Structure 1
């Protein structure tokens, strides 16, 4: 099968391309660096020529309300190009609980999902929990030289390699026309996760519970964790840290 992996040079995309090609498929990475601009449509026709499956792993450059315009324009262009190319399966990577969190970026990702669902292109959506690779960045949002302030929001971190493997598996199968949820094997409160991360790094800063600290303070309940029926990835956060 031939795959056009949009955002195929990034953290997840590069791994998806590698997994698919190792399985004997033909997967090509596409991004602005390869001459494909999903906001203008430049290079899309050539990128999708002959593709059986499009995998959209692109991301908005900002987390504010400008992300809505990014996903609307990119999806309009990608879906139109997919229809013209006769693509039989369109896969999007999204976020577990995306439609439950009242922040701009999550609303924009929900719009991306809705645009795909309402299109005529057969699709699959893979929702993943927070990437292990991004945990240190999350800590930096509310940190100073002595303290990291974190809410008690439940987090179920998943390794990027496990996300890529699941995306590749779903993309290589038939369109599901529904959503697959994926999470890591363990759930922590974010403040606990912060303590584990700092200890593993030898960082002497302390973690203080602040239920108003950072973007994840806006998360209601356990919205960012998987529910019954989700796929559970094998990699544990403590093992990943090692």
Structure 2
């Protein structure tokens, strides 16, 4: 099966490797290969002959501009896919994304989902928990000196490798015409995740619980936790930290 993967970052590059290892003809496309999703330049070439298109792109910012990004790139991608006879579009999204209206980026990802659902090509949406790889950046964002301020928002982190494997598996199958949720096997309050991460790294910063700190403060209750019926990966966070 010929599969075009749009986006060659942390997830996209691994999705391509997973698909090739499974015997598919897969290629990644991004700015580095001459693709500009905002203008559409290179898009027809990227999807030509593909049976499946996987969208793992990301907005360059997490602010209000992300709404413009997805509001432009998704219609461009769907139009090109439809014209090329693509039979399945797969998009990577976030668990609970439609339940955090206080975050512009989550509103933008919800817009992405809605546009794909209303589009002309059969689709699958994979919603993932927070990537384990991004936890250190979350800590850095709310660091002031030797203090890291974090809310106790529950998260269910999953490794990028397991996200990529799940996306590749969905891409190789029939369109879900719906959503598949994936997450790690454990739930942690974010402030606890911060303490575990710092301790593992021998980092001298200390975590102070602050329910108003950082972007995850906007997520109320358990909205970022995998819902019933989700597919749970096997890698535990402490094991992942030790493997690094």
TM interval, short-chain normalised: over 0.9
Residue in structure 1 matched with residue 213 of structure 2 by the alignment: 213
For 1:117 and 1:212, the matched residues in 2 are separated by: 33
The Cα of 1:146 is off from its aligned counterpart by: 1.5
For 2:146 and 2:36, the matched residues in 1 are separated by: 42
Is structure 2 residue 81 aligned with structure 1 residue 91?
no
Residue in structure 2 matched with residue 58 of structure 1 by the alignment: 57
Instruction: Give structure 2 stretches of 5+ with no counterpart.
Output: none
**Aligned-partner SS, 2:81:** helix
CA RMSD of aligned residues (A): 0.5
Residue in structure 2 matched with residue 14 of structure 1 by the alignment: 13
The Cα of 1:32 is off from its aligned counterpart by: 0.5
For 2:141 and 2:43, the matched residues in 1 are separated by: 35
Residue in structure 1 matched with residue 75 of structure 2 by the alignment: 76
The Cα of 1:23 is off from its aligned counterpart by: 0.6
The Cα of 1:163 is off from its aligned counterpart by: 0.1
The Cα of 1:91 is off from its aligned counterpart by: 0.2
The Cα of 1:219 is off from its aligned counterpart by: 0.4
For 2:136 and 2:199, the matched residues in 1 are separated by: 12
Is structure 2 residue 176 aligned with structure 1 residue 176?
yes
For 1:206 and 1:104, the matched residues in 2 are separated by: 29
- TM-score of the two chains, using structure 1 as the length reference: 0.99
For 2:46 and 2:119, the matched residues in 1 are separated by: 20
The Cα of 1:145 is off from its aligned counterpart by: 2.2
Deviations 1:194-232 (A, max 9, x none): 000000000121111100000000101011110110000
Deviations 1:114-154 (A, max 9, x none): 00000121000000010000000000111122111100000
Instruction: Give structure 1 stretches of 5+ with no counterpart.
Output: none
For 1:47 and 1:65, the matched residues in 2 are separated by: 28
**Aligned-partner SS, 2:60:** coil
State the number of aligned residues.
241
Alignment of 1:20-169 (within 5 A): 20-102=19-101, 103-169=103-169
- TM-score of the two chains, using structure 2 as the length reference: 0.98
For 1:146 and 1:90, the matched residues in 2 are separated by: 45
For 2:229 and 2:199, the matched residues in 1 are separated by: 33
**Aligned-partner SS, 1:121:** coil
